Structure 1
């Protein structure tokens, strides 16, 4: 072995019987090829009994390695099969790559570090590989990491759907509200997603029976799924979704009044934003509009502010009293969109009232959804549910990928 071969053997961390026995550099292609070999007569241990066994046969394989400066590097090696007298013929695993991969472990570690920070397609262009090959690497490491996730302590979860592709194509997310991590994601937004979650939870040491609190929107499918598969969980209807219903009602009142009140044109966000988030010009315009005491939109706006204020209270009895008063006043207001919200709250009373005790919301899921949609937009989509879900786990799952260094 010459000095260059010895240097590359050390750089790759190879140990006997493996060693670099040939180094070829092609200037025109800017490519470095490192040939790894083992001495004739080498023995490898049987994976079952540990007995040293002779080589049965070999087949050359190639792996993409980390670039050598700006040059693409590849490892070549004769992968052998050993023959154990007792346990038969087995493939000898190489220490620098996993079986079936065309990349070295260090190259895959680089890929996994990069795809957490930028779109897969961009990474593929930077390292001169196809995005399909990188997606297979991601799938391997995500699946491997999720196999080691412990869900035994999960008790409070948040549930929401997020758009996977254009149209009515959704993924349902199940999030551990205490650990603030994505537990499970599955295509669809129906009751069956809860059955799949329950199975996934049990497979990782958790139990649907240990779930005590669930935060979710008013979806009938979600309510049905929770009732069937989370028998001991109390439902808290997410106050942010309730607030969304009130906001939609305020905007519906504004739209119905805009023809008779031209000043309401282009004023949507004045009524839907919290006062503290308005700039000076917006505040002045809002105050001017509020002077019109006959403005139905202004009345709806006051109901919005009151509803929001009620959910700052942490006492169940007081919260229930104020909510009942709000519902009665809303029903008597004659503002049909707000009347509808009042009846919606009444029909979901237990889950709405539960918030004053549990204090759990889907706020973390709203943040997660924003991160996923931003990643999807940068990537211009992930083509399949599987790819999108793998990226969701990678970004939000707090996975221990156990990558080589």
Structure 2
């Protein structure tokens, strides 16, 4: 986490911003992870002092909050042009921030900008995929001992799972699905 690197590289600045109290450092760590609406009184105080400092942690937290605001604004406006403009502004800021993780994130977002904007507006989340993966992992644990894919697929069919392909060895969707080819 960034605050730990601040403690190693600038211990005097961290002590000046947060004081000597170890609870303040802990409150800051948890405050950075939480939504500001849910902060305790101690987290409010420590985050207030952190934001007045010039630590990497403060810059990282401001970038994180700004990206949350870009996302929230895109969902509220439901306008691809505005979402893209706001995201490009954030990317520009993140590229100049001198924090390597945010620079990498900004470059990744820039490379995948149309998909990111589409995902922001459509409200896509990885939650559905993670839930399906969890169910599949649970099924695999139950199906231990099946030696072949045929037996495993038979077990899945007996479990009355829907949306299984007719043939487990063929793709359910053609590889070209969703790919647009442009004439040269």
How high is the TM-score relative to the length of structure 1? 0.29
State the shift of 1:369 in Å.
3.2
1:381, 1:392 → 2: CA distance?
Answer: 12
Give the RMSD, CA atoms, in angstroms: 3.7
Cα deviation per residue 1:101-120 (whole Å; 9 max; x = unaligned)? Answer: xxxxxxxxxxxxxxxxxxxx
CA deviations 1:307-334 (Å, max 9, x no partner) are 1222232211111111111111112222
Cα shift at 1:350: 2.3
**Equivalent residues in 2 for 1:115-264, closer than 5 Å:** 251=1, 253-259=2-8, 260=11, 261=14, 263-264=24-25
Structure 2, unmatched stretches of 5+, are: 15-21, 165-184
Larger fraction in helix: 2
Superimposed CA distance per residue, residues 234-256 of structure 1 (whole angstroms, 9 cap, x where no aligned partner): xxxxxxxxxxxxxxxxx3x2342
Write 1 or 2 for the structure with the bigger share of strand: 1
Specify the alignment match of 1:283 in structure 2: 40
- Note closer, same or farther for the CA distance 1:371–1:354 as it changes in structure 2 (3 Å cut): same
CA separation in 2, counterparts of 1:299 and 1:326?
13
Instruction: Identify the match of residue 129 of structure 2 among 359, 362, 365.
Output: 365
Match of 2:91 in 1: 327
Q: 1:255 to 1:367 in 2, by over 3 A?
A: farther
Q: Deviations over 1:280-307 (max 9, x none)?
A: xx53333122122213223212221221
CA distance in 1, matches of 2:58, 2:117: 27
Q: Indicate conservation of the 8 Å contact 2:70/2:86, yes or no.
A: yes
Tell me what 1:105 maps to. none
Aligned residues: 142
Q: Displacement of 1:345 after TM fit?
A: 0.9
* Partner Cα distance (1:296, 1:394) in 2: 52
The CA distance in 1 between the partners of 2:111 and 2:158, in whole Å, is 35
Corresponding residue of 1:60: none
Does structure 2 conserve the Cα–Cα contact (< 8 Å) formed by 1:310 and 1:319? yes
Deviation at 1:396, TM superposition (A): 6.0
2:33 to 272, 282, 304: 272
CA deviation map 1:145-180 (0-9, x unaligned): xxxxxxxxxxxxxxxxxxxxxxxxxxxxxxxxxxxx
Inter-CA distance 366–336: structure 2 relative to 1 (3 Å threshold): same
State how far apart, in whole Å, the 2-side matches of 1:272 and 1:382 are: 38
SS at match of 2:92: helix
Q: Deviations over 1:345-397 (max 9, x none)?
A: 11222222222554433331123334455x369x5883568477755994863
Partner of 1:184: none
